[in-house]
Amino acid sequence: MNSFTILSTLILFLLHRNVLGASSHRPETASVNVDVSGHHPGAHCFPALGFQPPPFTPPDSWLDNWWCDAADEHAFMGFSYEVTACQSQEQLIHEFLDIRFHFNSRYVRLYGACDREGFYDDIVEAAWISGLGVHALIWFGFNLDDVWIGRRDTLLAALHANPRAKFITRVLQFGSEPLFDGVLPVDELTAQVEMAKANLSSLGIPVTVSELAFGYQERGGAQELLDALDSINIHMLPFFSQEASIANNSWPLVLNDLDWFIDHGNGKKMYFDENGWPSVTSPGVQPNSPDAVADIQNEHDYYVLLDNHCEDLKAVVGGGIGWFAHIYSDNQEPGYGIYNSSGHLKFSFHPRTSC
Ligand SMILES: *[C@@H]1O[C@H](CO)[C@@H](O)[C@H](O)[C@H]1NC(C)=O
Ligand SMILES: *[C@@H]1O[C@H](CO)[C@@H](O)[C@H](O)[C@H]1NC(C)=O
Ligand SMILES: *[C@@H]1O[C@H](CO)[C@@H](O)[C@H](O)[C@H]1NC(C)=O
């Protein structure tokens, strides 16, 4: 550990004590992982709010009782976080701590790619220190090339090599939108998912694809792919609907896509893993409806809408929808950030983490 890491850990420990009060403790062994205070019913599993990973690498046997049951997880999960900037380990730690403790996140969903050697080890370290689970990503990019194959092999190898990776990696995604972008035919993408599942089975890491409803629909439903997925990681971006107007009117648009996944998903756990409404348009963010409004008010209203429908989303098959906010900062994708590009919050953001 360098001094920054030690300091962060100390700050985190103090935060943790404040959050939980005097009756709580850090789990030191598997047997004290059960919170008996009654105040934090989820705090005995990773990455429940209030649960902090131990300061050592647990034995593999801990994996059996490590993860919170996905069927118990719903509401706000955390942020999409783009890594194309190849953030330093210090920046990752700083921002993951912010994601965890400022916003009560349980997960971070990676977006984009950093090809720096050892980058996923830095993600693991930052996630471990902050107590966040990770939705890792094999990034295809937008160039229809085969760079993703090397990224796949590097990430799979890192998941095996880093002894903590399996304790923080909740799912491996292929993305983003490989069907919509046409990077691979359905049968080849399905074969990739099956291959990755086999590769990661000894680590207990599930595999998914990060995709729009339309990506499946335009390929005849791609049922064989849906059937191969361990969870369904949905892109919910109603701003792009041909029916879009203001975010306050977008619930029927959300339901339209969600109902399609409910009908074809065979009861699997579902996430809105790329999910939001932009505050500005840009060359890559253009509406398909003349009435679609992009501004900070509507970006905020969309998350309030999801929060107001917390009970409806919780009632969805598979234990309810867990949703991510796309994205942490405008520096990562213009207009979608919760922070603007000078690091100021664009609106107050404290969505419910359960209901
Ligand atoms: C998983 O894939 C990686 C990268 O291709 C490879 O190095 C490793 O041997 C594979 N492990 C298993 C168990 O298949
Ligand atoms: C959306 O609804 C909220 C709550 O009723 C309201 O405060 C907000 O002004 C509405 N947004 C727009 C753009 O009308
Ligand atoms: C970010 O928000 C702050 C505070 O509202 C504002 O002063 C600043 O101009 C904003 N920056 C950008 C780039 O919009």
- Ligand 3 atom index nearest CA of 330: 13
Whether residue 299 has its Cβ less than 6 Å from ligand 2: no
Separation between Cα atoms, residue 12 and residue 325, nearest integer Å: 23
What is the tens place of the pLDDT at every residue in 265-324? 999 999 999 999 999 999 989 999 999 999 999 999 999 999 999 999 999 999 999 999
341 alpha carbon, closest ligand: 3
Q: Helices 147-161 & 186-200, crossing angle to 10 degrees?
A: 20
The letter for the amino acid at 194 is: E
Q: How many CA atoms lie within 13 A of 329 on its CB side?
A: 15
Measured CA to CA, the distance from residue 192 to residue 39 in angstroms comes to 43
Q: What is the reported pLDDT for 37?
A: 37
Distance (Å) from CA 327 to ligand 2 centroid:
22
Question: What is the full DSSP assignment across 129-175?
Answer: HHT-EEEEEEE--SS-SSHHHHHHHHHHHHHHHSTTHHHHEEEEEEE
Q: Which atom of ligand 2 is nearest to the CA of 301?
A: 1
User: How far is the C-alpha of 106 from the C-alpha of 120, rounded, in Å?
Assistant: 18
pTM for the complete prediction?
A: 0.90
- Which has the higher per-residue pLDDT, 354 or 8? 354
User: How many C-beta neighbours within 10 Å does residue 328 have?
Assistant: 27
Q: Which ligand is nearest to the CA of 295?
A: 2
Architecture per CATH, 70-325: Alpha-Beta Barrel (3.20)
Note whether 26 and 50 are within 8 A (CB).
Answer: no
Model pLDDT, residue 43: 74
Domain boundaries, the chain: 70-325
Any ligand 3 atom below 6 A from CB of 340? yes
Pairing mode of beta strands 169-175, 75-82:
unpaired
Could you report the per-residue pLDDT of 150-187, keeping only the tens digit for each? 999 999 999 999 999 999 999 999 999 999 999 999 99
Q: Tens digits of per-residue pLDDT, 20-52?
A: 333 333 333 333 333 333 334 457 999 999 999
